[in-house]
Amino acid sequence: MTTQGVKFYQVGSRAVGNRLLDPSLRTEQANPDRRNALNSGHRACQGCGEALAARYVVDAAVRATNGRLLAVNATGCLEVFSTPYPESSWQVPWLHSLFANAASVATGVSAALKASGRDDIRVLAQGGDGGTVDIGFACLSGMFERNDDVLYVCYDNEAYMNTGVQRSGATPPAARTATSEAVGPQPGNRFGTGKDMARIAMAHEIPYVATATVAELHDLEAKVERAMSMRGARYLHVLVPCPLGWGSAPSDTIRLARLAQRTGLFPLFEAEHGEVTSVQPIRGRVPVEEYLRPQKRYSHLFKDPPATAVIEAIQAIADRNIQRYGLLSEEA
Amino acid sequence: MREQIEGSRAIAQTVARCRPQVVPAYPITPQTHIVEAVGAMVKAGTLTPCEFITVESEFAAMSAAIGASAAGARTYTATASQGLLYMAEALFNASGMGLPVVMTVANRAIGAPINIWNDHSDSMSQRDCGWIQLYAEDNQAAVGLHVIAFRLAEELSLPVMVCVDGFVLTHAVEPIEVPAADVVDGYLPPFHPRQVLDPDDPITIGAMVGPEAYTEVRYLAHHQLNRARDRMPELAEEYALASGYRVSALSKYRVDGARVVIVTLGSVSGTIKDALDEVDDSVGLVTITLYRPFPADEIRAALACADHVIVLERAFAPGAGGVVAADVGAALSGLPTRVSTVVAGLGGRAVTKASVRGVIDDAKADRLPSLSFLDLRTDVIDHELARQAEADRPGPQTQALLRTAGVPASRIG
Amino acid sequence: MFEIRLHGRGGQGVVTAAELLSVAAFLDGKEAQAFPSFGSERMGAPVMAFCRISDTPIRVREPVTNPDVVIVIDASLLHHVDVFSGLAPDGYVLINSTRTLDELGIGELAERHPHNRIITVVASDIAREHIGRPLPNVCLLGAFSALTRTVSIGSIETAVHERFSELVAKANIAAARDAYDRVEVASHA
């Protein structure tokens, strides 16, 4: 008897998903015995994408490493809301040093484990977009260059949220932040700026680079699993909507992450040693407007008259990504 | 066994005998010979197990050291000058988290203007970062201080900076005895920290502490640092018995009966001793080795009989005066002792016996100001100040000064 | 205390020469100190190195301003740098050069000093002969040993063997010995 794999898609409804899957194919989040590495009681905002992603990622990493995991965290929202002394939400060994040095600290941890013959224990470094693409860039690049055995995860909410929503090197064009206000002839963040950190990681030709969002849980866990099956420098860039900074409804976090991918603005892919090895095709492509409208950080684009040229320019970015990564497959 | 070797090499060999497990290294003159030698030993397999990481900046070096130490590895690095400043944030982080990193600072001036030669402005600028600070008088002392540093660091869970004069000591070839491996092993037990990142016993390190507890945490750090004052003599004694070489927090030379006492740190102490031997007995020398925590009681006791204390220091606080002198003055508070500051040897300018004798003569003739700069070229200063008085536009003084100061390469000393 | 000052340019082994001298003195049972004075690591820039030799431990760290011996590895420095600054009245000078003292413009300095204490040594040529390249630093140490008798040629050889690989050491020692013999003959004839 021939069998055929059935694909289940997460399409914004809770009706189809883990319950219909064989337990071995379910996500770690469906596992009642999961580590719950980021336990409840932390002080994150309602609807925080980063809190969600961190729990997803670290739980997946704990499963992938059989619990033999140490975490290093940069300064930022995640660190601040998870460890209000004397409490801590973390159920894994966890170290926070400074804003710029998570990658270097992780390098040091990894070296210590190697020197003491304990490199069965794996190292995860995590930071926000500011701590990763801006102030932490040199340390991260150094870690990549040396191919140190660390998985670095960037939770990208596209601005310095913890300090009051200031623009970072990951802030997308036209987005309003406290240092790229929606005033003047070019309101919001300028076009032609910003770093594509995933591509920069690829340029270092490290063993593994991937992008993910909080909306695609299976995909995210699979990527963490894959990353942890390898040694050397690995990078995972996760889009995490921030209701406060994006001006979106707390209940929209997952939906917005899904829309970011569906527009083509946030492509999901994997790369090894500098070459793209897989892409997540877009199912049900949407125009960028559908993604931008629910976010107040783009509200200046939708006044009367709307900033059509700017919206088109953003659409052009999405189109370019779709073309570059081949995101529209025949199946769609 | 006593050998005629370069200071840097002796320090590297000593550090290797202390069995560091992780050494992050970033090059900067004049520390390079140390980390190169350590790196070569790791590469050749003579220092093992040890991970030698060529990091991309000093900030990364101290950050990697923090991670390694938190994960339970004995960790070492070395830097100087600009590098020390670049890792300033991480210095406070390491001490605040109680991580026993040991670091050599090959003392060098801080720019601008850029200067690669020896003075103490680098480590002095970080005197309050919460690290234990030790200053070596010569290379034999530097060797002993590194061994003691690891022991002190791991006992007190505090990082230790061993300050060694750049070029003057690091690049000097002199007779040095590196302690034998069994001597170091007997003195320095393996590192087994109480708090370490371990999946079998997970903890959170580096949490955010608010106003309700921050003061207490900082007070305890101060208290802990002060404990080094008590432990240092005991650990130094133990080292002396094991190795035959003695270092102490403070050392005295011809102080008994001296009415004028010079106080200093580092290698200049040797030159001063030679100068004092040519003078009568009324001048003595106190050399400070343990500078942080500041051994105020010991200093006060050592200077008890002096009428006039001259602090000869290789750094200063612009707009204020002496740095060490301020600490010494505070230690002598309530006493009628006169304290003069002589800022000497900035940016590698040699401190000569002749100049030291000049200071002593000035002190005895009561013409030593409360703050003076040794061997200051007043002709150059006067010329520049006159020039500035005429010119009406703002701008830095450095470039203009060089024309008057002359071409350095043609000068001796 | 016996103080030596060496002058040369970056890349000529001035610092190494001072260090080897100090090691040789140590092997002779003396206390010795050697240290450099240089700017950024750059080929061709003027470089000085110092060496002190004594029977008692050396504590002083200042540059040698009153040398008992001045060694000039690169004669082109003679009129750039005041190489003879502070030289003791009965001090020694060794200059690496094929020219005579008069031709070098320092004939009258030589006249003011005791006979045969200021000499030139064709060290680059001797080095070229034995090593194949004009690296005169170790060669000059051989000359130094013969001239001043403050460090034994045997200890210089041992120091060189400890520092360099077999072949390099042998060649340099041959050059040093050659220079030693020539100076020995000339100055103590």
pLDDT digits (tens, 9 = 90+) for B362-375: 999 999 999 999 99
Contacts of C among chains (3+ CB pairs under 8 A): B
Whether residue C58 is predicted with pLDDT greater than 80 in this model: the reply is yes
In this predicted structure, what is the pLDDT of residue A20? 75
Residue B182 makes CB contacts below 8 A (sequence gap 6+) with none
User: What is the pLDDT averaged over residues B153-158?
Assistant: 97
The answer as to whether A332 is a domain residue is no
Q: How far apart are the first and last CA of chain C?
A: 27
Quick one: closest CA in B to C26, which residue? B4
B73/A115 CB distance under 8 A? yes
Number of domains, chain C = 1
Whether residue C142 is predicted with pLDDT greater than 60 in this model: the reply is yes
Give a three-class secondary structure readout of chain B: CEEEEEHHHHHHHHHHHCCCCEEEECCCCCCHHHHHHHHHHHHHCCCCCCEEEECCCHHHHHHHHHHHHHCCCCEEEEECHHHHHHCHHHHHHHHHCCCCCEEEEEECCCCCCCCCCCCCHHHHHCCCCCCEEEECCCHHHHHHHHHHHHHHHHHHCCCEEEEEECCCCCCCEEEEECCCHHHHHHHCCCCCCCCCCCCCCCCEECCECCCCCHHHHHHHHHHHHHHHHHHHHHHHHHHHHHHCCCCCCEEEECCCCCCEEEEEECCHHHHHHHHHHCCCCCEEEEEECEEECCCHHHHHHHCCCCCEEEEEECCCECCCECCHHHHHHHHCCCCCCEEEEEECCHHHCCCCHHHHHHHHHHHHCCCCCCEEECCCCHHHHHHHHHHHHHCCCCCCCHHHHHHHHCCHHHCCC
Give a three-class secondary structure readout of chain A: CCCCCCCCCCCCCCCCCHHHCCHHHCCHHHCCCCCCCECCCCCCCCCCHHHHHHHHHHHHHHHHCCCCEEEEECCCHHHHHHCECCCCCECCCEEECCCCCHHHHHHHHHHHHHHCCCCCCEEEEEEEHHHHHHCCHHHHHHHHHHCCCCEEEEEECCCECCCCCECCCCCCCCCCECCECCCCCCCCCCCCCCCCHHHHHHHCCCCEEEEEECCCHHHHHHHHHHHHCCCCCEEEEEECCCHHHHCCCHHHHHHHHHHHHHHCCCCCEEEECCEEEEECCCCCCCCHHHHHCCCHHHHHHHCCCCCHHHHHHHHHHHHHHHHHHCCCCCCC
In this predicted structure, what is the pLDDT of residue A331? 47
Q: What is the pLDDT of residues A290-325, one digit of tens each?
A: 999 999 999 999 999 999 999 999 999 999 999 999
Least confident of A8-12, B72-76, C180-184: A8-12
Residues of B in contact with C45 (CB under 8 A): 409
**β-strand C92-96 against C118-121: which pairing, if any?**
parallel
Whether residue A270 is predicted with pLDDT greater than 50 in this model: the reply is yes
Residue of B173, B277, B287, B407 to mutate, testing the C interface (most C Cβ within 10 Å of its Cβ)? B173
Q: What is the pLDDT of residues C62-103, one digit of tens each?
A: 999 999 999 999 999 998 889 999 999 999 999 999 999 999
Torsion of CA A210, A211, A215, A221, to 10 degrees: 20
- The contact set of B with A (CB < 8 A) is 21-22, 24, 49-51, 53-57, 59-61, 63-73, 75, 89-90, 93, 97, 197-199, 201-210, 213
User: What is the pLDDT averaged over residues C138-143?
Assistant: 97
Mean pLDDT of chain A: 93
**How far is B70 from chain A, CA to nearest CA, in Å?**
7
Quick one: closest CA in A to B90, which residue? A98
- C108: confidence class by pLDDT, cuts 50, 70, 90: confident
For the record, the structure tokens of A296 come out as 């107040």
Domain assignments of chain B as residue spans, ordered by start: 2-243, 250-373, 378-410
Q: What is the pLDDT of residues B296-315, one digit of tens each?
A: 999 999 999 999 999 999 99
**How far is A249 from chain B, CA to nearest CA, in Å?**
28
What is the domain-level CATH number for residue C41? 3.40.920.10
Closest partner residue to B199 (CB to CB) among A110, A114, A121 is A121
Buried b (16+ CB within 10 A) or exposed e, B37-62: bbbebbeeeebeebbbbbbbbbbbbb
User: What is the pLDDT averaged over residues A118-124?
Assistant: 97
User: What is the pLDDT averaged over residues A124-135?
Assistant: 96
User: Helix B7-17 crosses helix B139-156 at what angle (to 10 degrees)?
Assistant: 30
Residues of B in contact with A112 (CB under 8 A): 21-22, 51, 67-69, 71-73, 75
**How far is B6 from chain C, CA to nearest CA, in Å?**
8
Chains A and C touch (3+ CB pairs under 8 A): no
Residues of B in contact with A37 (CB under 8 A): none
Residues of B in contact with A86 (CB under 8 A): 207, 213
The answer as to whether A10 is a domain residue is no
Number of domains, chain A = 1
Cα gap B126→B323, rounded to integer Å: 12
Residue A182 makes CB contacts below 8 A (sequence gap 6+) with A176, A188, A299, A300
- B410: confidence class by pLDDT, cuts 50, 70, 90: very low
C177 vs B386, higher pLDDT: C177
Residues of A in contact with B197 (CB under 8 A): 70, 93-95, 109
User: What is the pLDDT averaged over residues A78-84?
Assistant: 94
Domain of C142 in residue numbering reads as 2-187
Residue of A109, A137, A143 to mutate, testing the B interface (most B Cβ within 10 Å of its Cβ)? A109
Cα gap B74→B20, rounded to integer Å: 5
B51/A141 CB distance under 8 A? no
Domain of A55 in residue numbering reads as 18-325
Closest partner residue to B64 (CB to CB) among A94, A96, A111 is A111
Closest partner residue to B410 (CB to CB) among C39, C40, C80 is C80
Mean pLDDT of chain B: 94
**How far is B249 from chain A, CA to nearest CA, in Å?**
31
Residue B173 makes CB contacts below 8 A (sequence gap 6+) with B4, B5, B6, B7, C18, C19, C22, C23, C32, C33, C34, C35
Q: Which fold has domain B250-373?
A: Rossmann fold (3.40.50)
In this predicted structure, what is the pLDDT of residue A91? 97
Mean pLDDT of chain C: 93
Q: What percent of chain A has pLDDT over 90?
A: 87
What is the domain-level CATH number for residue A263? 3.40.50.970
Distances (CA, A) of C173 to A36, A317, C119, C140, C142: 72, 72, 21, 11, 8
Quick one: closest CA in B to A117, which residue? B49
B172/C59 CB distance under 8 A? no
**How far is A78 from chain B, CA to nearest CA, in Å?**
11
Contacts of A among chains (3+ CB pairs under 8 A): B
Q: What is the pLDDT of residues A224-269, one digit of tens each?
A: 999 999 999 999 999 999 999 999 999 999 999 999 999 999 999 9
Whether residue B409 is predicted with pLDDT greater than 50 in this model: the reply is no
User: What is the pLDDT averaged over residues A68-94?
Assistant: 95
Helix (H), strand (E) at residue C31 = strand C31-37
In this predicted structure, what is the pLDDT of residue A16? 54
User: What is the pLDDT averaged over residues A114-134?
Assistant: 97
Residues of C in contact with B409 (CB under 8 A): 39, 45-46, 80-81
- A74: confidence class by pLDDT, cuts 50, 70, 90: very high
Whether residue B412 is predicted with pLDDT greater than 80 in this model: the reply is no
Residues of B in contact with C59 (CB under 8 A): 138, 269-271, 273-274
B408/C39 CB distance under 8 A? yes
**How far is B27 from chain C, CA to nearest CA, in Å?**
14
Distances (CA, A) of C112 to B382, C83, C109: 39, 16, 5
In this predicted structure, what is the pLDDT of residue A85? 83
Closest partner residue to A115 (CB to CB) among B49, B93, B202 is B49
**How far is C81 from chain B, CA to nearest CA, in Å?**
5
The CATH number of domain B2-243, selected from 3.40.50.10160, 3.90.780.10, 3.40.50.970, 3.90.550.10: 3.40.50.970
Quick one: closest CA in C to B410, which residue? C81
B66/A96 CB distance under 8 A? no
Residues of C in contact with B172 (CB under 8 A): 33-35, 61
Least confident of A60-64, A178-182, B264-268, B351-355: A178-182
User: What is the pLDDT averaged over residues A62-86?
Assistant: 95
Least confident of A96-110, A176-190, A210-224, B118-132: A176-190
Closest partner residue to B270 (CB to CB) among C61, C65, C82 is C61
Quick one: closest CA in B to C49, which residue? B172
Residues of A in contact with B26 (CB under 8 A): none
In this predicted structure, what is the pLDDT of residue A192? 93
Quick one: closest CA in B to A101, which residue? B63
Quick one: closest CA in B to A142, which residue? B56
**How far is B114 from chain C, CA to nearest CA, in Å?**
11
In this predicted structure, what is the pLDDT of residue A21? 79
In this predicted structure, what is the pLDDT of residue B17? 98
Q: Give the CA count within 13 Å in the CB-facing half-sphere of B315.
A: 24
C65/B172 CB distance under 8 A? no
B67/A80 CB distance under 8 A? no
Cα gap A56→A54, rounded to integer Å: 5
